[in-house]
Structure 1
Amino acid sequence: MVNKKIGILNLSNPVTRSVSSLVEKLKEGNNDVKVSPILHDANASPKEKADLFNQWIKEDLDFIFDVSGGDLANTTIPYIDAKAFRRSRTLFAGYSDLTCVLNRLALIRPVLLLQIANCTDPLHPCVVDRENVLGGNIRCFLKLAQTPFFPDCEGKTLFLESYSGNRYRIESYFAQLSMMGVFSKIDRLILGNFTELLDESDGKQHLERIARTYCRKPIEFDCRIGHQKDAYGLLLNYRKETS
């Protein structure tokens, strides 16, 4: 990732940590790096955050990295310019709460499930590229339920992960996806790092039991993808909207 135009912004909660170290590392590749002027602004509206995203994709930046997380990403979805995103070549990357935005945009063209701020070497992030993948953070994926943007899961590979959540909370999410018919439609389920649950001594057994209770399709585990430092990214590439 050298000689590129890069933007750093937040579509979710205001960012409370400094991004200066990340910016300096990205600039080492002779990249032109822009940082959102409202990155840390607790009073920025969803429209203001989406307007900056729209502006940058119209400028055809090479990459836009969302470094935020929390709860507010779905509030920006109504203000995102889908037509401008379709025309642009910008690769958008985000993680965690951004799952809802990423899956909305992945209907148009591929996006990247990646928290660039967690990469020790952000110029060379590791990315898993698999065919026909959707999903991300399980809680934030469910934010799209009963909206026009919940993806058609038929024949797809579903990836799920979570930072927080004990076995009871995680099972409630799986039950919800099951009642929505998601697990009957997908071809395969990939489980990433369920951080809080897997920190328990018997967490892996609980996760596997929960997954196999609700999903009868082939299940894989790939803990390289999660909230941890130097986690791998995942390309979401199940494009549906064509006009």
Structure 2
Amino acid sequence: MSESNRGANMGSKAPARPPRLTHGSRVALVAPAGPLLERDDLTRADALCRALGYEPVRGPHVRGRHGYLAGTDEERLGDLNAAFRDPSVDAIWCIRGGYGTTRILDRIDFAALSRRPRPLIGFSDITTILNAAVSRAGVVAFHGPVARAPMPPFSRWHFERVLTCAEPAGRLGRLPAPPDVLIPRQDRIVTLSGGVAEGPLAGGNLTLLQCLIGTPYFPELDGAILFLEDVGEDLYRVDRILAHLRLIGALDRLAGVVVGRFTDLERNMADGALGFDEVLETYLGRLGIPVGFGFPVGHLDDQWTLPLGVRARFDADAGELELVEAAVA
């Protein structure tokens, strides 16, 4: 592990809250994982920053391409570390996920982020950096829309409520049901195991969380409210990852589990398939803690912004999540 990467392992210590975003905040746009395949991706990221009142600051290699990566490891790492070290940058916003963060994770300068906390925003493959920011830098990180994404009103309200207000965001919103459907399937939240729990938020993309097992970057889950999402996975692989988490004891002392969207979930086993809720019941429903699924977290336009390391209250019976601490200062 490099010297720059050696932040203290924060353990149960509450992470520091970065300063809130304000009008004119300078936001570094970086691509630490997959490449931008369309030039308009970067144009939209710039435009979104300006529409929100921020000044975009492009990383020098943000349009780079090296196979399925947004530039070489050194280029992507250089842009991210430069943003962490730049005193004029107020936030770091990843333009997309993809693949590639695990290739550079052990060389990221988390010490620089620890010295001057700033919001780090993204999801999917960015899950590894978000969790490492909490565990190694001791700074709240934000699982939310990437910078090239559309920002419909639902997403914008949560993004700004969490990142621009130095007070608890309170109860997060629910997507409205279609007005002409009696019992909708879309955007439905289901209680798997009832109850109410409170604890710090941890989690992100299920596949990427598995990649962190056995590393210093795996999140502290004792007493945590774990949230999960994924995209394009087969159900048997979701089953296998949850089994892995159970085998290492990662699920033993959770306070609750908020399961988001598993977008484009496949069932390609020749021997048949279980239901998604059956798999969740096998690993999560028997833990004796609140568990629900269908929350607006993951690969969808309308999504919550969730601050890792901030305490939340989860009511699985009501299908509600409430942020009880401010995420920014």
Task: Sort the TM-score into its range (normalised by shorter chain).
Answer: 0.7 to 0.9
Q: For the residues of structure 1 that align with 2:151 and 2:24, how far apart are their CA atoms?
A: 19
Structural RMSD (CA)? 2.5
Q: For the residues of structure 2 that align with 1:82 and 1:58, how far apart are their CA atoms?
A: 10
Question: Residues 229, 238 of structure 1: CA spacing in aligned structure 2 closer, same or farther, 3 A cutoff?
Answer: closer
Q: Which runs of 5 or more residues in structure 2 are unaligned?
A: 1-21, 163-168, 170-197, 268-273, 312-329
Deviations 1:89-109 (A, max 9, x none): 310011101111111111211
Partner-residue secondary structure (3-state), 2:64: coil
TM-fit CA distance, 1:23: 0.9
TM-fit CA distance, 1:118: 2.3
Q: In structure 1, which of residues 140, 159, 165 is the aligned counterpart of residue 227 of structure 2? A: 159
Q: Which runs of 5 or more residues in structure 1 are unaligned?
A: 200-204
Matched, 1:120 2:188: no
- 1:231 maps to 303
Alignment check: 8 A CA contact 1:125 1:233 kept:
no
Matched, 1:139 2:139: no
Q: For the residues of structure 2 that align with 1:87 and 1:121, how far apart are their CA atoms?
A: 34
Structure 1 or 2, whichever has the larger Rg, is 2
- 1:23 maps to 46
Alignment check: 8 A CA contact 1:11 1:72 kept:
yes
Summarize the alignment of residues 1-243 of structure 1 with structure 2, pairs less than 5 Å apart.
1-17=22-38, 18-43=41-66, 44-60=71-87, 61-107=89-135, 108-116=138-146, 117-120=148-151, 124-127=156-159, 131-197=199-265, 206-215=275-284, 216=287, 217-237=289-309
TM-score, length-scaled by structure 1 = 0.87
Question: Residues 96, 77 of structure 1: CA spacing in aligned structure 2 closer, same or farther, 3 A cutoff?
Answer: same
TM-fit CA distance, 1:152: 2.2
Q: For the residues of structure 2 that align with 1:30 and 1:191, how far apart are their CA atoms?
A: 32
Instruction: Give the fraction of aligned pairs with identical amino acids, expressed as a percent.
Output: 22
When structure 1 is superposed on structure 2, of 117-126 and 136-145 the one drifting more is 117-126
TM-score, length-scaled by structure 2 = 0.65
When structure 1 is superposed on structure 2, of 229-238 and 104-113 the one drifting more is 229-238
Amino acid at match of 1:126: H
Amino acid at match of 2:283: Y
When structure 1 is superposed on structure 2, of 212-221 and 121-130 the one drifting more is 121-130
TM-fit CA distance, 1:38: 1.5
Q: For the residues of structure 2 that align with 1:210 and 1:36, how far apart are their CA atoms?
A: 41
Alignment check: 8 A CA contact 1:165 1:197 kept:
yes
Amino acid at match of 2:27: I
Q: For the residues of structure 2 that align with 1:87 and 1:100, how far apart are their CA atoms?
A: 20
